[in-house]
Structure 1
Amino acid sequence: METVYKTVMMKPQDNVAVALSNIPAGTVVQMKCRGKIMTVKLKDLIEFGHKFAVVPIKSGEDVIKYGEVIGLAVKDIAVGEHVHIHNVEGKRGRGDKMSHAK
Structure 2
Amino acid sequence: MKMENNINSLMISEKDSVAVALEELNEGDAAKYKVSDEIREIKIVQNVPIYHKFVIVDVKEGDFVYKYGQVIGKATQDIKIGQHLHTHNITGIREMLGD
TM normalised by structure 2 equals 0.85
Q: CA deviation at 1:38?
A: 2.7
Q: Report the CA distance between 1:23 and its aligned residue.
A: 1.1
Deviation at 1:24, TM superposition (A): 1.2
Q: Does 1:13 align with 2:15?
A: yes
User: Which residue matches 1:62?
Assistant: 64
Write the distance in 2 (CA, Å) between the matches of 1:36 and 1:15.
16
- Retained in 2: the 8 A contact 1:71–1:91? yes
**AA paired with 1:48?**
I
TM-score normalised over the length of structure 1: 0.82
Equivalent residue number for residue 79 of structure 1: 81
Instruction: Structure 1: state its 5+ residue gaps.
Output: none
Which sections of structure 2, spanning at least 5 residues, go unmatched? none
Structure number with larger C-alpha Rg: 1
Decide which moves more: 76-85 or 4-13: 4-13
